[in-house]
Amino acid sequence: MLYNNCITIMREGLLFMKRNSFFRALCVALCAALLLGTFAILFSSLAAAEEEEEIVAVVPAQEDEAAPEADKAPARAETPVSEVSQAEEAPNFLVGALDWFFRTFGFIGFTLDPYQFTIINQTPTFQWLLGFNDFYDQLPWVVNVWTDHFTCQFPYEGKDWRIQFWKGGYGLCLATGGEIGVYNKTWDLEHYACPVDQNDWMYLEYSVYNKGKHLFTRPSPRLSGDTGPYWWATGYRVLSICTDFFNGPRKNVIMDATLPFKSVEMRTAFINAMPGEFEPLPAGQTLSLSTPEKYTLGTKMTPDGEQPCLRFIWQNFTKGIY
């Protein structure tokens, strides 16, 4: 009871600050300063690295003319990350800077998918230790993350489950993205654990669109190792501007998600917990971005075998208060 009351008090305190224009402006200014400082470090580090490459002269070894061609080692060709990126809007220098940053500071739990110019989380990450509760939902605005979200809470196999979805703008509207988190608990506290048993993780699959344009897909179609399963799957497409950043619902941002479940019973429990805005897709129609707040049922082949799944399109509502 004491824990739950503390969570409530902290949540209400953050809500008060969020509604105050002074605190909101202060957070915007601090985040802007932080971003500028981060970019300054990135660019200065890259500039220093380029200078070192220019100073160090590599003298090629003289080849022995008598040596047969078979004895010569083939040259190793490496493609820079900046040239691998398929994102049309991605400046090569920024792809390289972000790739360097996440390789250097990998402990923060994120990496860059250069093929989609998208920041994604790694598995596992230290965030797994923190679990989840409603208080966390009041923190993102402090770092200028403004998203829609909704939650499905349901019982299954003796556990209370919480599957939550987010979409919107991240980091002073410099990125647009979405997330899915899977949590459960076996206690009365208003705090969920990130599943300890990997059998409770899910082979989530989702895509995010901004103004009808595809931003990214998880798991990444080309990034090696991004296959799932996940307890938390994130994606933030850099330089994709969320125009309705501060005011929800963010109808320009659409999530197309597919969730495979352990059993038909688990899927049914999830459906019963879905917000009333979602409805089954009428017979004769095809699920697409033009059918928001509709879902279909089916099956999906995963490494765990064929599993019952649910696919939905989410666009026009939010149950959050971001």
- Domain extent listing, the chain: 2-40+86-314
Examine residue 219 and say whether the peptide bond preceding it is cis (omega within 30 degrees of 0). yes
The answer on pLDDT for 31 being more than 80 is no
Read off the amino acid at residue 28. V
Say yes or no to pLDDT of 54 above 90.
Answer: no
Min mean pLDDT across 55-59, 150-154, 278-282, 302-306 is at 55-59
pLDDT band at 77 (very low <50, low <70, confident <90, very high): very low
Predicted confidence band of residue 93 (pLDDT cuts 50, 70, 90): confident
> Which percentage of the chain shows pLDDT scores above 70?
70
Pairwise pLDDT comparison (104 vs 16), residue with the higher score: 104
Contact 215, 177 (CB under 8 A): yes
pLDDT of residue 105: 87
Please check the confidence at residue 196 and state whether its pLDDT lies above 80.
yes
Least confidently predicted of 92-101, 135-144, 189-198, 227-236: 135-144
Average pLDDT over every residue of 52-72: 44
Provide the pLDDT confidence category of residue 312 given band limits of 50, 70 and 90: very high
Q: What does the pLDDT read at residue 128?
A: 86
Least trusted range by pLDDT, from 37-41, 78-82, 100-104? 78-82
User: Pick from 278, 308, 309: which is nearest to 295 by CA?
Assistant: 278
Mean pLDDT over 60-79 rounds to 41
Please tell me the least confidently modeled range out of 45-54, 108-117, 213-222. 45-54
pLDDT at position 76 over 70: no
> What average pLDDT does the segment 184-209 reach?
93
Q: Kindly report, residue by residue over 114-157, the tens digit of the pLDDT.
A: 999 999 998 778 888 889 988 888 777 677 788 899 999 999 99
Provide, rounded to the nearest whole percent, the portion of the chain with pLDDT above 90.
47
Task: Report pTM.
Answer: 0.76
pLDDT of residue 82: 39
pLDDT digits (tens, 9 = 90+) for 199-256: 999 999 999 999 999 999 999 999 888 888 999 999 999 989 888 777 778 999 999 9
CA distance 192 to 160: 8
Asked if residues 205 and 219 have their Cβ atoms less than 8 Å apart, the reply is yes
| Model confidence at 182: pLDDT above 90 | yes
Is the pLDDT assigned to residue 102 strictly greater than 80? yes
The lowest-confidence range among 2-16, 251-265, 287-301 is 2-16
